[in-house]
Amino acid sequence: MDRTDTALLGVAGVVAALVLAVVFAAGALFGLDESVVRPLRLLAVEPFAWIVVAALIVAVVGHAYIDG
């Protein structure tokens, strides 16, 4: 990975962290509805979901590596 790939991966991590922070802040302000909590609970209890998330991350990083 070169500097561009590292920067893109870092930006993606920051965006993901901000999205999670916004979800939790909205949940704290407006109450955590079942529709908000369900995907997070699914990630916590379903190992297949982690495999899908890992595959998506590998695909994005691999695409950035091959494309560059």
pTM of the model as a whole: 0.47
Q: How high is the pLDDT of residue 24?
A: 76
Q: How high is the pLDDT of residue 65?
A: 73
Q: How high is the pLDDT of residue 35?
A: 67
Residue 9 · residue 2 · CB < 8 Å: no
Q: What is the pLDDT of residues 7-62, one digit of tens each?
A: 777 888 888 888 888 777 777 776 666 666 677 777 777 778 778 888 888 888 87
In angstroms, rounded to a whole number, what is the distance separating the alpha carbons of residues 54 and 42?
15
Give Cβ neighbours of residue 42 (< 8 Å, ≥ 6 apart): 49
Q: How high is the pLDDT of residue 1?
A: 65
Domain residue ranges in the chain = 3-67
